[in-house]
């Protein structure tokens, strides 16, 4: 089986041109030793520059994306090559993870790598293990062509994660929001077969990713092999 | 029930006096705008200063501690007040988390908070929601006085995490290594009733914490309530 895992509308982008001259963006860029245009928008540094921007509450959370990606790539399921990971951003960029890509655990290294990736379209050496290019959720799902498209959102139909995971087909795609709060856009929701809610209250993205992959592993490897076989 | 969750021998400390004069430590301190003595030791910045130090491979991973703490505090079980969290460090400091403490998701805010905490012994405002003081694993376990003391390590007896979680008593303490690789010290191992291995290969600390708490939730709330009830 292959699970296609998509973080959708993720709060990941470079500092946009309109904010690059703001004192907060310039100060942070100086600290990193790069032009502001080559740094990631981050509400914890750029709050003053962002607060009046459209969709401010859905932008500038690279920390959240980092934690969700780490939750995925640390799993035996991913390390066994059974997960294809995609990060779609609010600005319709899609980051594709090559097989077995490792992601820096240190935040500042992640920031540097993903800023370069968003600017240059690829990172990770000659093998281009990470690639970024334009793409919407509907276009990405058409390209993947999965057996089913399941979104996870508190607005969906309630179902235990374990039960949902047990019912996924061999080539399923699961879409999880890569933002802090709120639901999927109409465009994303319209491209899904169904939306499930695995908890009556909001859960952080890294938690949802971790639980989903753990439940799929338990289903695949059996309860006595939750950790997966040695590589 | 209350689960006492201990990260043991964690790779978390201030830059020690012997490294404060190293160019790598001074450069990083300048970047943060604080003296090196008030910054966390971090191998991704301080590698050149650390590499010949004793136990170098078990030190300077505040990113790992951050991710493991986030994996715990994001869970419904923690948010429902059923987890008491402790971070014990390789240098025998114990950080105690007050009920319902939220931890910064942004790494640089975490770094600032925990550096202050390790220097001053408390952080989080007048309620002192985070406290740090001297303590070993044996002394911490004596103070907690749990119904059982279970360590998780690859060197332990193989058991599925789900099965282990189902067998935990009402006031159990589970100890997980807060370091990158290797096993518990003899001092830690000697204070435990038993050591379990939930996977035949090494798993990252945040993954172990997330899976453990998820399995305890499923046991406590039932499979249809994996996410826990609304707060």
Q: pLDDT tens-digit profile of B150-206? A: 999 999 999 999 999 999 999 999 999 999 988 999 999 999 999 999 999 899 999
Residue in chain B closest to A205 (alpha carbons) equals: B74
User: Whole-number mean pLDDT of chain A?
Assistant: 93
Computed on alpha carbons and rounded to an integer, the radius of gyration of chain A in Å comes to 18
Of the candidate ranges A49-58, B71-80, B89-98, B110-119, the one whose mean pLDDT is the lowest: A49-58
Residue in chain A closest to B217 (alpha carbons) equals: A211
| B3-13+59-223, CATH topology level | Alpha/beta knot (3.40.1280)
Q: Do A105 and B200 touch (CB under 8 A)?
A: no
CB-closest option in A76, A160, A206 to B223:
A160
**Cα–Cα distance between B15 and B22 in angstroms, integer?**
10
Q: Give me A120's structure tokens.
A: 């240059």
- Chain A residues near residue B207 by CB distance under 8 angstroms: 71, 74-75, 210
Mutation pick from B227, B228, B229, B230 vs chain A, by most beta carbons of A within 10 Å, is B227
**Cα–Cα distance between A106 and A111 in angstroms, integer?**
9
Distance from CA of B143 to the nearest CA of A (A): 31
User: Whole-number mean pLDDT of chain B?
Assistant: 93
- pLDDT tens figures, A119-145: 999 987 656 599 999 999 999 999 999
pLDDT at A224: 62
* Strand pairing class (A130-134; A93-97): antiparallel
Choose among A29, A151, A170, A39: nearest CA to A88.
Answer: A151
pLDDT at A127: 60
pLDDT at A226 over 60: no
- State whether residue A147 is helix, strand or coil: coil
Q: Do A161 and B225 touch (CB under 8 A)?
A: no
CB-closest option in A64, A74, A228 to B206:
A74
Distance from CA of B158 to the nearest CA of A (A): 9
User: If interface means Cβ-Cβ distance under 8 Å, which residues of chain B face chain A?
Assistant: 31, 42, 44, 63-64, 67, 70-71, 74-76, 105-109, 160-163, 198-201, 203-204, 206-207, 210-211, 214, 218, 223-231
Which architecture characterizes domain A3-13+59-225 according to CATH? 3-Layer(aba) Sandwich (3.40)
Mutation pick from B77, B106, B205 vs chain A, by most beta carbons of A within 10 Å, is B106
Contacts made by residues B163-166, CB under 8 angstroms, sequence distance 24+: B163/A223, B163/A224, B164/B196, B164/B198, B164/B215, B165/B212, B165/B215, B165/B216, B165/B218, B165/B219, B166/B215, B166/B219
Q: Do A162 and B207 touch (CB under 8 A)?
A: no
- Chain A residues near residue B106 by CB distance under 8 angstroms: 42, 44, 63
Choose among A45, A87, A48, A42: nearest CA to A60.
Answer: A42
Q: Report the b/e string of A94-106 with b at 16+ CB within 10 A.
A: bbbbeeebebbbb
Report DSSP letters for B37-68, one per residue: GGSB--HHHHHHHHTTSTTGGGS--HHHHHHH
Distance of CA A197 to the CA centre of its chain: 18
CB-closest option in B70, B76, B198 to A227:
B198
pLDDT at B54 over 90: no
Q: What is the mean pLDDT of residues B1-27?
A: 97
Distance from CA of A34 to the nearest CA of B (A): 13
Confidence of residue A231 (pLDDT cuts 50, 70, 90): very low
Distance from CA of B110 to the nearest CA of A (A): 11
Q: Do B199 and A107 touch (CB under 8 A)?
A: no
Sketch the domain layout of chain A as residue ranges. Answer: 3-13+59-225, 17-55
- Say yes or no: ipTM exceeds 0.90: yes
C-alpha triplet B205, B207, B210: angle, nearest 5°: 110
Handedness of CA B193, B198, B204, B210 (dihedral sign): negative
Q: Do A228 and B201 touch (CB under 8 A)?
A: yes
The dihedrals phi and psi of A184, each to the nearest 5 degrees, come to -65, 150
User: What is the number of other CB atoms lying within 10 angstroms of the CB of residue A112?
Assistant: 18
pLDDT at B86: 98
Q: Are residues A169 and A149 in contact, defined by beta-carbon separation less than 8 angstroms?
A: no
Cβ-based burial of A49 (10 A; exposed 0-12, middle 13-18, buried ≥19): buried
* Strand pairing class (B122-123; B130-134): antiparallel
Q: Are residues B136 and B185 in contact, defined by beta-carbon separation less than 8 angstroms?
A: no
Q: Do B160 and A199 touch (CB under 8 A)?
A: no
């Amino acid at each position: 089986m292959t699970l296609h895992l998509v973080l959708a509308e993720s709060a990941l982008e470079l500092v946009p041109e309109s904010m690059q001259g703001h004192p907060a963006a310039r100060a942070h860029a100086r600290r990193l030793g790069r032009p502001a245009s080559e740094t990631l928008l981050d509400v914890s540094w750029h709050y003053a520059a962002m607060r009046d921007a459209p969709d401010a509450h859905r932008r500038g959370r690279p920390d959240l994306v980092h934690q969700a990606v780490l939750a995925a790539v640390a799993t035996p399921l991913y390390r066994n090559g059974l997960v294809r990971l995609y990060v779609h951003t609010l600005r319709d960029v899609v980051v594709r993870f090559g097989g077995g890509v490792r992601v820096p655990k240190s935040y500042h290294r992640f920031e540097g790598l993903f800023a370069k990736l968003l600017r240059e379209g690829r990172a990770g050496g000659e093998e281009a293990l990470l690639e970024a290019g334009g793409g919407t959720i509907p276009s990405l799902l058409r390209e993947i062509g999965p057996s089913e498209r399941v979104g996870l959102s508190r607005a969906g139909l309630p179902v235990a994660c374990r039960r949902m995971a047990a019912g996924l087909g061999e080539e399923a795609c699961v879409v999880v929001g890569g933002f802090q709060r709120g639901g999927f856009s109409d465009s994303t929701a319209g491209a899904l077969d169904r939306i499930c809610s695995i908890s009556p209250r909001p859960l952080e993205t890294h938690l949802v990713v971790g639980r989903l992959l753990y439940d799929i592993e338990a289903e695949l490897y059996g309860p006595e092999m939750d950790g997966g076989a040695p590589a």
